Chains A and B, each alone.
Chain A
Amino acid sequence: MRLHDAIVLFVCIVLAVVLLTIAGMRLDYINSQRAEMKLIINEPLENAPPSLAFATVAMGAFRGLVVDALWIRADNLKEQGQFFDARQLAEWITILQPRFAAVWEFQAWNMAYNISVAIPATQPDQRWRWVKNGYELLRDQGISLNPKSIELYRELARIFQHKIGGVTDDAHKYYKVQLALTMEPLLGPADNEYFEALTKTPTKWQQIIENKDVAELIAALRAAEDVFTDADAGKFVDNYLALRQNPKRFKPSAIETIDKFRGTPALEKFDIFAKAYYLRNTLKLDPVLMQQLNKTYGPIDFSDPNKHLPLDWRHPDSHAIYWGVKGLKEVAKEENREISIVETNTDRIVVHSLQNLFRYGKIFLYDVPIVTSEDSSEQAEQRVEKTIYLRPDLRMFQPYNEAMLAVLEKHKRPDDEGSYKSLQDGHRNMLKNAIFLFYQTGHISEAQKIYSQLRKLYPLEEFKVPLAVFARNRFREELEGLGIFDAQEQIVALLRESYFRYALRDDDAASGSEKLAQEVWERYQQEYPDEYRVDLAKLPVLRYLALLDFLNDEQYPPNLRLNLLGRIKIERPELYREFEQYVEQLRKKAEMAE
């Protein structure tokens, strides 16, 4: 070897050794960082399907490069407004990085939030598809591969609470309706006995078919309709539920089979099994946990305050509670843990969802007939769409309060004063709102109980007055700064709201709104001198105006508005008479003007 070549070789060897040593010295630090950020993939994936296990191992060192390329492509397409590939890319990225929770979280959020709003609000069905894609990614895949990552449970709960349950998205009502329609057929009578039955029914297909009667029913269905013949457990259950909801889509023989078994224990047993199976395997909701949540967080029965009724599982906040609690249960298995900010935020999501159920937990699903044919000469085609209204559910206050107190106790630590204080502020404001709402709706004793608690927990000056004074002060705060014209507007709005609730048969709330309207009117009668009083019309006139407003308000379906008139005529004849009297007066005035 020539001297020149030898020197070059020597220098290269020395350089290689030095660089390798430096790299080796950094390795410990890098590994500890990876452990901290939970990026270690040395542990084999638990229960992963073979294809997934293969994908994560086969690429070896190139996996990082492929993942980078996929992320670049996903980001570029997003910048260009192209979403045709978003779901596929999300799947591939999550296949290649299955243990990196942030990836699942990001992809789900991207689909549910960014991609869905890129579609115009005039296509709510398309928007809903992307919101569903987002939460299904977490629910069906992310969580099953990362069962201990509370971030994923939190994100899933947040999508239900904020995206579906909130009001910032133009299509939020559509989302709520779709979720409610999905859940409604599975909830039966939705009482405690039903949920008890759901928990006790067999969990596996093999177990249910051991029952001879049920086996007979299954055999009969398989013989009656092709879709049942070779179907596996999952498909059979899906088709059975579809048959029960929409029998016209199936052959008459299948409907006859159901009729034949109607009322028999076999059909009842299988029905419960099918619903529980669907909840467990498709919607990933465990009936056992659902029942536990009903018992802990369900609305209280006013006739027996120790009894909890089931949560309304049509409501998105019930699902938010489910996933939030499930995540909290996972982290709670580690007893000596430090409470992370993610855990605190998950606690917040649960209590906020309970708060939301108090504020608007009562669901009213209303049928709206839609005429689809544009040509008036043809017989107009009608189809029915659903619309949804949400109203307060006062029964949810106690579960919220108990949960909130438990969370406050959990976060009462010297090193977490910031979180504790913010939780307290939220609790205090909620108590104030609840007292006012209970007071206005006539539940004075309940309002007093809450007020006593408020004074005990938060001994501030503003609470050292009797309940009635507190309510009046609170009422005055709400009305402060309103001029006489604003008062008229407010009274009419409150009356209109009461008629709307009356039309929905939410009589408690209707009565509350009407009472509040009356109080506002009386207040202004007392406070303002005569020359201003002329501008504030008499209460019956305002009632008439509010009723006219409601009857002319296109946002409410026509049949809802007509139903109201019918109900007023029968149940509130005095109001109808007042209404009639002014109609007559106005008609006479109009004739005189002509």
Chain B
Amino acid sequence: MRSIWAVAINTIRQALRMKIAAAFVILLLILLPVMGVSMTGDGTLKGRLQTFVSYGLSLTSILLCLLTIIVSVYSITSDLKQRQIYTVITKPIRRYQLLVGKLLGVILLNVMLLVLFSAIIYSITVFMPRFYNPTETERAVVKNEFYTARASITPPELDVSKEVKEVYHRLKDANQLPEDMSYSEIISQLTSVRKLKRRAVSPGYMLPLVFTDVKPLDPNDSLFIKFKYDVAVTPPDSQIIGRWIVGDYQYIRYGEKIDTPIYDEVHKYSIRTTHEIEVPASVVPANGRLCVAFVNHPLNNTVVIFPLEDGLEVLYKADTFSGNFIRAVLLILFRLIFLACLGILGSSFLSFPVAILFCLVIFFTATFSNFVIESFNFLGQNLSGVYSYTIKPVIQLLPQFDKFNPTKFLVPAQFISWILVAKAAVIMVFIKSLLLLLIALLIFSFKEIAKIII
């Protein structure tokens, strides 16, 4: 353990002596306060805060990721190239201890820098309202929609398998199955259609959805219904009039007498854009079973559909902004740990420039993995097939950084649960990073140190 610790300390010292590390640190120290002052977003206080947090955290994350890659690769390749490793390898230190020490050093450096810069971002975020003299309305909006952590509950998963099978057999018997589609494709399409049908509301009708386990921290607070309308026929003004009834399921469904109030308002919102309605948290009954009912006003004259993925969710305050921020920073740290292990792996068998290139390709692919995978669907069928069986599985093996992107949560004040953090830790650190480390250890153990690598 002492050897590992000694290597780690030396790695940190080596990194701090690197000019590029100093450049990145100075750049962030200058840019973060400048961004805090210059970023205006849409001009409102909430817009400023969202823009600053989004760009501030993203910039910090990208620069630290790049620094991690460079430091982790350089620390080993420079030792190999300059033959300094001979003086270390000949000591009573195992090869795995050397690698683990290097990794530990990089991780500790990341922790120090991450703590420093996240503290700067947090301070600027918390103190920003003092510099802009916002109105009371802006303060209230920011308190409810930014300086908070809102848990999201979606409607329960719809089970339409029985219906789908019936429809499939009916089509099969009538010889109406599409010939160019496989069984799984047909079932998938039928399932999607059936599920959307369950989320569609005709004019004059009501769609009640039940959300279980809704537990707001404070009944005097608010909760938010986040939704997006899609329509069969676009109205002339692209807006939908909807009556929203939120409260105890027993009252809404059966008209029974209840203790909690009911929220019942009519709103008009545009289609195909996400909106939020604020509802008092006191409407949530004691058993946590909240019913959200939407009535499609007859004036709309079109069927309203709530998309399956992001059509409807209930948001309620589950934690503070500070707690959420800490968890967001942990997500960044996991990313850095993965990249550190990747850098160690690359440097174990590649030269410096090749290892950097290798790591950067993996890093950018992991960052845009969702976009890349979605874009395959828009290629021609043959090309799409080729990519789906070759590149797609490889991309799916990589950690999907955009899925665990902290700004995706902090900007709309979405709660990052400890379960999510644990999931990210298990996937990125305990599985993928450990795997990379084991491979690196294996390669390095059998590596011919004195061999020249081009």
Contacts and interface: CB of A to CB of B under 8 A. Distances in A.
A81 B41 contact: no
Nearest to B275: A81
21 contacts: A72-B371, A78-B273, A80-B274, A82-B411, A84-B41, A84-B44, A84-B54, A84-B411, A85-B41, A85-B51, A86-B42, A88-B39, A118-B269, A118-B273, A120-B267, A120-B275, A121-B239, A129-B42, A129-B43, A169-B237, A170-B268
Contacts of B42: 83-87, 129
B150 interface: no
A32 interface: no
A501 B274 CA distance: 42
Contact of B41 (A79, A80, A88, A169): A88
Contact of B50 (A84, A120, A168): A84
A117 B269 CA distance: 8
A114 interface: yes
Nearest to A168: B237
B273 A81 contact: yes
Contacts of B270: 117-118
Interface residues of A, number: 21
Nearest to B371: A72
A86 B42 CA distance: 7
A482 B44 CA distance: 52
B3 interface: no
Contact of A114 (B47, B268, B273, B274): B273
B237 A88 contact: no
Contacts of A170: 237, 239, 268
Contacts of B228: 81
B50 A117 contact: no
A114 B239 CA distance: 11
A435 B20 CA distance: 79
B33 interface: no
Contacts of B274: 79-82
A117 B51 contact: no
A120 B268 contact: yes
A85 B371 contact: no
A372 to B, nearest CB: 14
Contacts of A86: 42
Nearest to A117: B270
Interface of A: 72, 78-88, 114, 117-118, 120-121, 129, 168-170
B393 interface: no
Interface of B: 39-44, 46-47, 50-51, 54, 228, 236-239, 267-270, 273-275, 310, 371, 411-412
A79 B39 CA distance: 22
A84 B51 contact: yes
Nearest to A81: B274
A88 B51 contact: yes
Contacts of A114: 273
A166 to B, nearest CB: 10
A78 B40 CA distance: 18
Contacts of A84: 41-42, 44, 46-47, 50-51, 54, 411
A31 B43 CA distance: 41
Contacts of A85: 41-42, 47, 50-51, 54
A86 B44 CA distance: 13
Contact of A80 (B236, B239, B371, B412): B412
Contacts of B43: 87, 129
Nearest to A87: B42
Given A72-B371, A88-B39, 5 more contacts: A79-B274, A81-B275, A84-B41, A84-B50, A118-B273
Nearest to B40: A88
A168 B235 CA distance: 11
Nearest to B277: A120
Contacts of A118: 269-270, 273, 275
B140 to A, nearest CB: 14
Contacts of A129: 42-43
| Nearest 3 interchain pairs by C-beta | A81-B274, A84-B47, A117-B270
A84 B46 CA distance: 8
A579 B65 CA distance: 83
Contacts of A83: 42
A88 B48 CA distance: 11
Nearest to B267: A120
A82 B228 CA distance: 13
Contacts of A72: 371
B308 to A, nearest CB: 14
A80 B226 CA distance: 11
A133 to B, nearest CB: 8
A168 B42 CA distance: 24
Contacts of A80: 274, 310, 412
A81 B226 CA distance: 10
B226 to A, nearest CB: 8
A117 B267 CA distance: 13
Nearest to B237: A168
A81 B414 CA distance: 14
Contacts of B236: 168
A69 to B, nearest CB: 9
B274 to A, nearest CB: 3
**Which of B51, B54, B273 has the most A CB atoms < 10 Å from its CB?**
B273
B431 to A, nearest CB: 28
Contacts of B411: 82, 84
A129 B42 CA distance: 9
A545 B40 CA distance: 55
Contacts of B40: 88
**Which of B47, B270, B275 has the most A CB atoms < 10 Å from its CB?**
B270
A165 to B, nearest CB: 15
Contacts of A81: 228, 273-275
A388 to B, nearest CB: 19
Contacts of A121: 239, 268
A379 to B, nearest CB: 22
